Structure 1
Amino acid sequence: MHLRTLLLTLFLLLPGLVAANGPLTIAAASDLRFALDDIIEEYEREHPDDAVRVTYGSSGRMTTQIMNGAPYDVFFSADIAYPQKLRAEGHAVTEPEVYAIGRIVLWSNRMDASEMTLEDLLRDDIRRVAIASPTHAPYGVRAMEALKSVGIWEDLQPKIVNGDNIAQTARMIQAGGAEIGIIALSLAEFPDLAEHPHHLIDDALHEPLTQGFIITRRGEDNATAHRFADYMNGDTARDIMRRYGFVMPGEELPDDATR
């Protein structure tokens, strides 16, 4: 009888033990697609017993998924407002922490974006301009704000096409769905895209892309989640983030320039 009770207790505890020690699942804004992949590679090399799985998408959609019980342990958002919302509504066990400031750029693989301004998007030879959806993608919101700041948002409406997230927006331009668009600097710095020059958009034209992360309620007892969160504050992760154009918390934004 005692043996049966012990086995039943172990059976009931096992799901919790597996969750606490299983693979780390991350939901991440798509502007991190290349930088975070590099960080995870270094992290797993230094922590060979830890397995990390990441899903990329729009911050707004992932916030909704987490609120509906999606199995993510850590959430990296392109707008800290989303982690703040999750924390306020009881879906996070840590306070939202800033991990980077993002930037937006004009980018094209068909024309020299480095020689262009936002106002040039109204030119007759440009038929489609891609931005991420302002409905749920922070980079789309910042693109919209910049276009409104220079007074061309309304006139540009017939040309605008939306990607679901910023990575999809970049792919849309690459595939010819738009001649040019506004994408994340972190994507424009990836080697495949960096061979085409971009124009860094003045950050005074839009609200800051203050990016933040939290450990979700699901990740509370996952030791790997806490180790990875600490790792993001270390030199290796920060150096990789800088390489992709992110500004680290407490550091000054670089001068706006054409690259």
Structure 2
Amino acid sequence: MSLCFRLCSWRRWLLPTLLLALPWAGGAQAGEARVAVAANFAPALRVLAETFEARQGGRIAIVVGSTGKLYAQIHHGAPFDALFAADERRPALLEEAGCARPGSRFTYAIGRLALWSPDAGRVDAAGRVLSEGRFRHLAIANPKLAPYGRAARQVLEARGLWQALRPRLVRGENIGQTWQFVHSGNAELGFVALSQLRQPGRAAAGSHWLVPQALHAPIVQQAVLLSDNPLAADFLRFVQGNEGRAMIASFGYQLP
């Protein structure tokens, strides 16, 4: 057993016992799996979990956050059973550190970035609104914590607009908060996940630009099993099956 695995195991099982006051502390109850998920994938994961629970029983307890913060919590002992990240780097790091079950990491989706405004006609089909500057605030997720925020910065850099627009940026902790900034009117437009605009049965109003993937690094989203919880393992197998993949695609994600 590696030193990294021993350290991670100590953090995951002993530390939560000492820190029960923290919101994520305490392991899953019998018949329950605690699943951490990046904010962009939370709506899709809830639908997947509801379908899985109805078929198999048990409970999938979902905790939503930015990939960066969830990674830090897991690394410091948060007793999650699985992680659905918005990138491939953090799951790989957890696997390397012995905090994940070997061979469990897989790509579940390729994310798409969109520039969105609730106002019809504000965002054109080529994203020229960014250079025209007809807005006061532009929302993006924190590039240091959220892969979608990092992709948004790459788009602005590719367009030569990063420095010019920095004073107008409103940064969300995760892509969910970024969507709220735009939806509430605190920013006229913002970079969000396409999945937030294409939820089954609820099309988002307004206007958007589907950002060409050539303008940013691929948003490869991976999941990994963090414990021996059999319910969590079964849930990850369900997500990888044909039905799970079809549900993911219905939210606007590309499939690997």
Determine the structure 1 residue equivalent to 2:41. Answer: 32
Give the CA deviation at 1:19.
5.8
SS in 2 for 1:130: strand
CA 117–129 in structure 1, closer or farther in 2 if over 3 Å, else same: farther
**Could you tell me the TM-score, scaled by structure 1's length?**
0.84
CA 19–159 in structure 1, closer or farther in 2 if over 3 Å, else same: closer
Q: Check the 8 A contact 1:122/1:156 in 2, yes or no.
A: no
Matched, 1:226 2:233: yes
Q: CA RMSD in A?
A: 1.8
Give the CA deviation at 1:197.
3.4
CA 109–192 in structure 1, closer or farther in 2 if over 3 Å, else same: farther
CA 113–183 in structure 1, closer or farther in 2 if over 3 Å, else same: farther
Matched, 1:94 2:102: yes
Q: Mind listing any 5+ residue stretches in structure 2 that lack a counterpart? A: 1-16, 18-26
Give the CA deviation at 1:113.
4.9
Determine the structure 1 residue equivalent to 2:208. Answer: 198
Give the CA deviation at 1:198.
1.9
Q: Deviations over 1:230-250 (max 9, x none)?
A: 00111221111111111111x
Give the CA deviation at 1:31.
0.5
Q: Check the 8 A contact 2:125/2:210 in 1, yes or no.
A: no
2:59 aligned partner, one-letter code: A
1:133 aligned partner, one-letter code: N
User: Across the two proteins, how many residue pairs are aligned to each other?
Assistant: 229
**Could you tell me the TM-score, scaled by structure 2's length?**
0.84
Give the CA deviation at 1:195.
2.7
Within a 5 Å distance, the mapping from 1:14-25 to structure 2 comes to: 21-25=30-34
Percentage of pairs with the same residue? 33
SS in 1 for 2:240: coil
Q: Which runs of 4+ in 1 moved over 6 A?
A: none
SS in 1 for 2:119: coil
Determine the structure 1 residue equivalent to 2:92. Answer: 84
Within a 5 Å distance, the mapping from 1:135-214 to structure 2 comes to: 135-190=144-199, 192=202, 194-214=204-224
Matched, 1:242 2:242: no
